[in-house]
Amino acid sequence: MMVRLTTIGNFLSGIGLTLLGVTIGVKALLDALSPAPEQLVYPFYVWIGALGVLAVVLLISIITTFTEVTGFVHPDDKMMSNMLVYMMSIGTLLTFGLLEGTTVTVQGYLFDMGTMIVIAYIFLFVFVFFGGKISAGAETGQTKEMTSRFMIVSLILGVIMAGVYLATSIIRDNLSYGWAAAALFGIAVLLVVCIVIFLGRRYEPIGE
């Protein structure tokens, strides 16, 4: 049952991402034409559909990630499922800024929120790749050694995060919202795909 639930979640994520693509496509088509005022809300209706799908997918993801109430789910399946949820979440957030009536101020808020999500995943990226080295010695009580390493890593990570925020801010200030959102979404997808590919090649004992 749980595996089927994961499959359903992945299928719905695909539908949600498709709806976001349709939203962008319809908006671009309307911008190229001279639509009637009532037609300008069509992209919003499609986006609402994508938002509803996201709510369902997020609920399924929480159930499959944090519980095993109806069976075991392979870690690789969980990672793939949550990768799609992540992509759909940030895509839904950024796509809202393209809709008719969204002000420049709101677009700025949405872009900053998307940037913060990406920055959070940068922390995850660093933890995935270097977590073992950072926490080495914790089992034997070498807390000072671990803290010393974490202090340096935190400094480097802070500089990287600040650099990413600066870069995305420059993108936002020098490009239209649409291009800036596309660039941010591309960075987000590249980041999470790298994490999934790296961990997918790592052997990990699994439960039954």
User: pLDDT tens, 55-67?
Assistant: 999 998 888 888 7
Mean pLDDT, the chain, whole residue set: 83
| Angstrom distances, CA of residue 160 to CA of 114, 125, 163 | 17, 12, 5
Q: Is pLDDT above 70 for 105? A: yes
Exposure pattern of 167-180 as b/e (b: 16+ CB <10 Å)? ebeebbeeeebbeb
Model confidence pLDDT, tens digit, residues 23-42: 999 998 988 887 777 788 89
Angle between the 42-66 and 75-96 helix axes, to the nearest 10 degrees?
150
Q: What is the mean pLDDT of residues 179-194?
A: 88
pTM: 0.82
Residue written as token pair 């700025």: 108
CA separation for the pair 177, 29 (Å, rounded): 17
Angle between the 104-134 and 143-174 helix axes, to the nearest 10 degrees?
150
Kindly indicate the confidence band of residue 201, based on its pLDDT and cuts at 50, 70 and 90. low
CA separation for the pair 10, 19 (Å, rounded): 14
Q: In which element (H, E) is residue 28 found?
A: helix 2-32
**Nearest 5°: phi and psi at 207?**
-80, 175
Model confidence pLDDT, tens digit, residues 108-140: 899 989 988 888 888 877 777 776 676 666 566
Q: Is 164 within 8 Å of 119 (Cβ atoms)?
A: yes
Q: What is the pLDDT of residue 93?
A: 94
CA separation for the pair 50, 91 (Å, rounded): 10
Q: Is pLDDT above 70 for 8? A: yes
